[in-house]
Structure 1
């Protein structure tokens, strides 16, 4: 697999896309990266055989999502003890090479390319069973939901993903603050479980769950709204500040607002299956832990 520190995908002023090395830059968020000059990699993706850092530098004109294509999203629900007790932001692992039936004798982290930040946005109106047919993935898969990035941080810089602080702020107010040590199921267990009988394809992402502070469980309930500023951060990985805007969707003779987040490729939702087709970001599957013995129920 590719060797890097903090991998960023961007366009230069001519509109050409590159991967660059952002390790050492003073700011690792979307706004701070624009205008910076970074050394670029040869090759179109981290999976190219000739992917290597060059001496050539380019100036960042536009920050792109760190992955141009994701075969499958794997989403783990209720994986933080505090959030599970109640009924955001997620550390996201990127699969670096295909794997299947990862055994107890193997190190599951050998199959990880790196880590990034994912924001598993939900449209709660569409999430209720009578509208989703009991498939929560439909409410999470509208255009531009699940933004990732802006950087992929290497395993070298995050040797232990269970010792990270995770936070979310909305309009400057802290809504979520927790640590990955609060996980119920660690990342190694998730990889072993998800690979049972199923090949995890390189480029797929595993969203490891969100901590407490979800607006649905607040009293009174608090929802994201048009114009909100959403900031998400994980130790060693900083996300762009995302300004949210509203799109009106029509259904059953009524109008309902669905939140969309900027900064991710266009995606397409379908409520007919829990495997939701996304034009650029692949498919989404949801798994929910149902016991402390590492068993799961697929939704």
Structure 2
């Protein structure tokens, strides 16, 4: 892939092609809708238009834990994202800044469960329940997460509309070899701000699926966001939060790219009524 190389964070890369801004009606229709992808000569569609559940895994990259000055967790740190946060459209919509003014990005490998439900899977058979993969942006409101009264509201901070931005296309698991050997990066306005590898995961995909499925049934279409490498804006010095006009491109080896523009809430206020 063009952007997956040995560049270091902060080094400029070529600017992505300009985004063609669709109409507001097109945007609203695209939210919460999966689309088809032709892969290995076969069309494939995710089983549900909106995932039945969305799970996130916090601090699952060793280098990210180090960035935070934290010891690696002894078991997966699980949170949920609202299904209304799911978005395959071309925009990330910033909330009212009076409610959440510190919006951040996190590039993640998303695992899609299917085609059958997963319950009490062992690590040995967990990968049998993986339908495919996609690039996801675990968009996060850091004020709600860390600073608001009664802070620590992970699900609130990560559950705003469009805060689970995902490729509209799934890459079948059969198209990806070892999902723990994939380069992952984020390009913000032409500069690399996140760069890592899924080999840095503390808990690998079979461990995550087994851990979750021993506590709840993972229905077909469930998304598991597997964590992010170092470099989210909140942890940079100085912090770098998203603002209207920003363009984010996230890339993972073999999965292509997820590109979105950041817009203000007012730009879509009337079209969401």
User: Who is 2:193 aligned against?
Assistant: 175
Q: Find the partner of 1:130 among 138, 144, 148.
A: 148
Residues in 2 aligned to 1:174 and 1:21: alpha-carbon distance in whole angstroms: 27
1:217–1:101 distance in 2 versus 1, CA, 3 Å: same
Which portions of structure 1, spanning 4 or more consecutive aligned residues, are displaced by more than 4 angstroms? 38-41
User: Who is 1:99 aligned against?
Assistant: 118
User: Who is 2:65 aligned against?
Assistant: 84
Residues in 2 aligned to 1:39 and 1:162: alpha-carbon distance in whole angstroms: 25
SS in 2 for 1:192: helix
In the TM superposition, residue 134 of structure 1 has moved relative to its aligned partner by 2.5
TM-score scaled by length of structure 2: 0.67
Contact 2:193 2:232 in 1 (8 A): yes
**Which of the two has greater strand per residue?**
1
User: Who is 2:138 aligned against?
Assistant: 120
1:19–1:172 distance in 2 versus 1, CA, 3 Å: closer
Residues in 2 aligned to 1:73 and 1:148: alpha-carbon distance in whole angstroms: 11
In the TM superposition, residue 115 of structure 1 has moved relative to its aligned partner by 0.3
Contact 1:229 1:243 in 2 (8 A): yes
Structure 2 residues without counterparts, runs of 5 or longer: 1-28, 69-105
SS in 1 for 2:175: coil
Contact 1:129 1:135 in 2 (8 A): no
**1:17-28 paired onto structure 2 within 5 Å:** 20-23=36-39
User: Who is 1:202 aligned against?
Assistant: 220
Residues in 2 aligned to 1:115 and 1:226: alpha-carbon distance in whole angstroms: 29
Q: Find the partner of 1:238 among 256, 265, 268.
A: 256
Residues in 2 aligned to 1:18 and 1:40: alpha-carbon distance in whole angstroms: 13
1:144–1:21 distance in 2 versus 1, CA, 3 Å: closer
SS in 2 for 1:239: strand
User: Who is 2:97 aligned against?
Assistant: none
SS in 1 for 2:132: strand
Contact 1:113 1:154 in 2 (8 A): yes
1:18–1:90 distance in 2 versus 1, CA, 3 Å: closer
RMSD: 2.8
In the TM superposition, residue 23 of structure 1 has moved relative to its aligned partner by 3.5
The Cα offsets for residues 241-293 of structure 1, whole Å up to 9 and x where unpaired, read as: 21101227xxxxxxxxxxx9x9xxx8xxxxxxxxxxxxxxxxxxxxxxxxxxx
Residues in 1 aligned to 2:238 and 2:244: alpha-carbon distance in whole angstroms: 19
**Bigger relative contact order, structure 1 or 2 (CA pairs below 8 A, ≥6 apart):** 2
**Is 2:72 the partner of 1:72?**
no
SS in 2 for 1:240: strand
Residues in 2 aligned to 1:247 and 1:91: alpha-carbon distance in whole angstroms: 27
SS in 1 for 2:157: helix
Contact 1:18 1:40 in 2 (8 A): no
In the TM superposition, residue 125 of structure 1 has moved relative to its aligned partner by 1.8
SS in 2 for 1:128: helix
TM-score scaled by length of structure 1: 0.61
In the TM superposition, residue 18 of structure 1 has moved relative to its aligned partner by 9.0
